[in-house]
Amino acid sequence: MRGDRDFSSRPRRRRPAPADLGLLGVGLLTLVVAGYATGTSWADLKRARQHVVDVRRQSEAAQARLRALESRSAPTAALATQALLSEEAAPPRVLADLSGLMPADVKLESMSLTYGEAIAIQMQVSSRSAGSYDAFLQRLEGSPLFDDVVPGEETRDGGVSASITARYRGPR
Amino acid sequence: MRARWLAALLVAAGLGLYAAVGAPMQRQATAAADEYKRARDEARDIRARLARLERRDAAHARAAAALPAAATPADTVRAVRRVVVQTLQEAHVSGVRLGVSAARAPYAARVRLSAAGPFAQVVSLAGLLARPERGLVLEKVRFSPRGETVSLDLEGVTLGASP
């Protein structure tokens, strides 16, 4: 039986107005979006916590190995460092790194390298112009390969002749 | 009217869910992500330090194992001298003075060498002597001018068995 031919006394259910339907839609949408945002946050949290746990586990294993290696006696460790520097920072390597910082008219007159926990460098350089020597010193001080750069005695007579001490940090 | 109430209820439930659960969880996720970044950076530092120490110990082991174990200090001196002399033959230097002596543990022998030659040759000689297979650990190296050439003064040690 069709609804418009219903003669019963029962009150007819009113169809919701389009505005109400719209409001219901907005309510549902709000709930869905809030649920989605909550679910996404929960997944993010779970993933981030798992990453933290994984990284911490790896760190602890590496830290244990590190402690074992660091607990070696100081003389043995110093000797091992010296062996490493002899291999990885042999004189040609140090000279090449040093030459790379030298302006064309700066000349290395003499150089001594002392291998230990690091490489102590003592060098005598000469330059035809004071500007080039200053530029070399500035580059040396700014280089990540060298530190503790200390200019020593210098004579300025047109050109420059100077001694410099520094420490070669070597490859890290 | 009921539809409007229901809609209001749904909006309130959505906002309540987000405010009570979603937003705090989002903050916790952000904090956990920051913690992960810190932990990752820390792990990277530890790995870098570990890699260097492992390289260091490997270099020590190579230096200690480079020369065959000798029965007596005299055998050690002969073996080390042989290695240095072989290396000298590869370099075109002159005025060579070589001294090899037995040394106390943890060293096996001490080497003192001076030579002269063109700059490139003496630098190359220093590099050859420092190669891992030679077993020589450098202590002091000095390059200084000698007339038209450059002189090299080098001191080094060879290592005994690892303690």
Give me the residue spans of the domains in chain A: 17-71, 81-168
The model's pTM is 0.74
d(CA A23, CA A38): 22
pLDDT digits (tens, 9 = 90+) for B23-82: 999 999 999 999 999 999 999 999 999 998 899 889 999 998 888 777 788 988 999 999
Contact B141, A112 (CB under 8 A): yes
Lowest mean pLDDT among A106-115, B39-48, B58-67, B146-155: B58-67
- Checking DSSP bridges between strand B94-102 and strand A106-115, what pairing results, if any? unpaired
Give CA separation, A113 vs B2, B52, B99, B141, B155, in Å: 90, 21, 20, 5, 10
pLDDT digits (tens, 9 = 90+) for B78-104: 999 999 999 999 888 999 999 999 998
Determine, for residues A112 and B53 on separate chains, whether the beta-carbon distance falls below 8 Å: no
What percent of chain A stands above pLDDT 70?
91
Among chain A residues, the shortest Cα distance to B11 is held by A27
- Domain B73-159 sits in which CATH superfamily? Ribosomal protein S6/Translation elongation factor EF1B (3.30.70.60)
Which residues of chain B have a CB within 8 Å of the CB of A23? 3-4, 7-8
d(CA B31, CA B107): 53
- Respond yes or no on whether the N-terminal peptide bond of residue B106 is cis (omega within 30° of 0): yes
Q: What confidence category does residue B163 fall into, taking pLDDT thresholds of 50, 70 and 90?
A: very low
Q: Is residue B111 pLDDT above 50, yes or no? A: yes
Q: Compare CB distances from B8 to A27, A37, A114 and report the shortest one's residue.
A: A27
Element containing residue A120 per DSSP (H, E): strand A119-127
Size of interface A-B (CB pairs under 8 A): 192
Q: What confidence category does residue A1 fall into, taking pLDDT thresholds of 50, 70 and 90?
A: very low
Q: Which fold has domain A81-168?
A: Gyrase A; domain 2 (3.30.1360)
Determine, for residues A92 and B14 on separate chains, whether the beta-carbon distance falls below 8 Å: no
Determine, for residues B49 and A23 on separate chains, whether the beta-carbon distance falls below 8 Å: no
Predicted local distance difference test score (pLDDT) of residue A74: 72
Among chain A residues, the shortest Cα distance to B56 is held by A84
Contact B44, A55 (CB under 8 A): no
Q: Is B17 on the interface with A (CB under 8 A)?
A: yes
Predicted local distance difference test score (pLDDT) of residue B83: 92
ipTM: 0.78
d(CA A88, CA B132): 9
Which residues of chain B have a CB within 8 Å of the CB of A38? 17-18, 21-22, 25
Predicted local distance difference test score (pLDDT) of residue A102: 95
Predicted local distance difference test score (pLDDT) of residue B64: 87
